[in-house]
Amino acid sequence: MSLAALPKVELHTHLEGCAPPAFIAGLAREKSVDLSGIFTADGAYAFRDFAQFLKVYEAATSVLQSPEDFARLTRAVLQERAEDGVIYMETFLSPDFCGGGDLTAWRDYLAAIREAAGEAERDFGISLRGIVSCIRHFGPDRARPVALCAAETAGDWLVGFGIAGDENAGSPADFAWPFDAAREAGLRLTAHAGEWAGPQSVRDALTALRVERIGHGVRAIEDAALVEQLAEKGVVLEVCPGSNIALGVFADWRAHPVARLRAAGVRVTLSTDDPPFFHTTLRAEYDRLAEAFGWDEADFAAINRDALAAAFCDPATRDRLLPRLENT
């Protein structure tokens, strides 16, 4: 089976981060918002480093102003992802960007996103589940209402809770309360760590937030004892190589530690994070990894089976999807 046709499972995407620049530029025109500063002359997102990426990301998100905008985005993103062979995807949703942390507004946004996802599932054969994410550089006070939004809407579709944003703002322990609230509501947990900070950040996320998956986690490679611990405990890394390379965490594909982590027995999965920002797709990631490390269809099929096993969806959904990954 070709890499293009291979059924794929993607655990780490940000819904707003999946918005193509033309989609955001179109919304900006409709709403008469001047976003010209965030695009290059040929219409791509323009940023030089992570700090500027976050600013551009938040500016782009500012034109997503209603549940209907998010519904349109969800449908467009899922259609594109299904064409890439993705059959199951998890995406981070931020109540900060969907009603500003207000529960009533959040319910409306979530309902619109879910409805669009249900239509896309029927039309394109791709299943989506949501993970509420608080934003680290917005601070712990803003993370509390976000966690309450998540806890109130936890269920078969809203399946997880996490944290994104600037890893060097505050520490994981500052966010223990939101993570405890989410855990008590039955949500599964993940945290961005080991992207912009080193191994200690990964250790802190594991101990202070008690997460079962780590977003990125790749800088664990700097500490052999931590790598061993991740492998032993079966902690799943949501690795996004193209994102790391585009943002300058690693110089190029061959320098990326994903193959070394996998060889050390760490459960790695593959995702795109914010693909239009990083000029990537999941298919393109597979091609680059095949070139860099000699991985073949069997390697990617095994990674996809691990990803489905680590998905936060309910067992019935997993069992329904599993046959599509078998014989690949």
Give 81 or 317: the residue with its C-beta nearer to ligand ADE.
Answer: 81
Residue 178 buriedness (CB in 10 A; 0-12 / 13-18 / 19+): buried
Residue 41 buriedness (CB in 10 A; 0-12 / 13-18 / 19+): exposed
Non-local CB neighbours of 180 within 8 Å, separated by 6+ positions: none
Looking at the annotation, which residues are catalytic?
195
CB 32 within 8 A of CB 86: no
Give 3 or 70: the residue with its C-beta nearer to ligand ADE.
Answer: 70
| Side chain identity, residue 217 | G
195 binds, among ligand ADE, Zn ion, none (CB under 5 to 8 A by kind): ligand ADE
Question: Residue 320: which of 183, 116, 156 has the closest Cα?
Answer: 156
Residue from 7, 10, 17, 134 in contact with ligand ADE (CB under 6 A)? 17
Residues 23-42 that bind ligand ADE (CB under 6 A): none
For the chain, how long is the longest CA-to-CA vector?
53
Q: Interface mask (CB under 6 A) for ligand ADE, residues 252-281, using x and -?
A: ---------------------xx-------
Give 10 or 273: the residue with its C-beta nearer to Zn ion.
Answer: 273
Residues 81-100 that bind ligand ADE (CB under 6 A): none
Q: Interface mask (CB under 5 A) for Zn ion, residues 207-246, using x and -?
A: ----------------------------------------
Give the nearest distance from C-beta 47 to ligand ADE in angstroms: 11
Alpha carbons 297 and 314: distance in angstroms, whole number: 27
**According to the binding rule CB under 5 A, does residue 273 interact with Zn ion?**
yes
**According to the binding rule CB under 6 A, does residue 192 interact with ligand ADE?**
yes
